[in-house]
Amino acid sequence: MTEESESGSVRESYDALAHEYSLRIFHELEGKPLDRALLDEVASRSAGLICDLGCGPGHVARYLAQQGASVCGVDLSPGMVAQAQRLNPELRFEVSDMRSLPFEDGSLAAVVAMYSLIHFDDGELASACQEIARVLSPHGLLLVGLHRGSAIEHVDDLWGLSVDLHFRLFEPDEIARPLTASGMSVERVVERDPYPGVEVETKRFYVLATKQD
């Protein structure tokens, strides 16, 4: 599958999932205290615009805004962006590929990518990391959330809806390498067990990184 057809498959799948995804995911942060604590840190350390990449229905952007942050959201799926705008009419969302972002160089104080890098192979991941680094200001902050593991899992049915998605599980060094190569410095990696009944029960980890001068 080509890069273009893969991104098309992801877009179409999330368009199909958008309504159901919003119903199931929009309130999930209520049951994720570590996620909230990390987002609180991003909000408190960022004096400028924060972008929620792969924003889905906009629940992460909404949470950041509630902490007083200036925030916007980007998603590949027009269906997801429509849900985000419906649920958060006071916030700005737009459709874009995170490998070609609609921001000027160095214009963002922070980027949050919660489980939105999980559909990329190594080459696509490198491109996304380079683009994130481009739009971050010097010392800008990046928070990435990922599922831990080494498998690539294909899903063709989710919540009774037909999709065509590959979900990639990561080990920390698999994300640290492209981040470092893009000019970012990893501050720390935080791991946790899943929250039963709140999410898919995979091990999770988070990478907090800053852009170098």
Give the pLDDT means over successive 10-residue stretches in the chain (213 positions).
62 95 95 98 97 98 98 97 98 96 98 96 96 97 97 92 93 97 97 94 96 91
* CATH 1.10.10.10 corresponds to the domain 3-211: no
pTM recorded for the entire structure: 0.94
Q: Are 118 and 167 in contact (CB under 8 A)?
A: yes
Instruction: For the chain, give the longest Cα–Cα distance.
Output: 47
Q: What residue segments make up the domains of the chain, in order of their start? A: 3-211
Residue corresponding to tokens 């380079």: 130
pLDDT at 168: 95
Q: In terms of residues, how long is the chain?
A: 213
Using CB atoms within 10 A of its CB, is residue 33 exposed (0-12), middle (13-18) or buried (19+)?
exposed
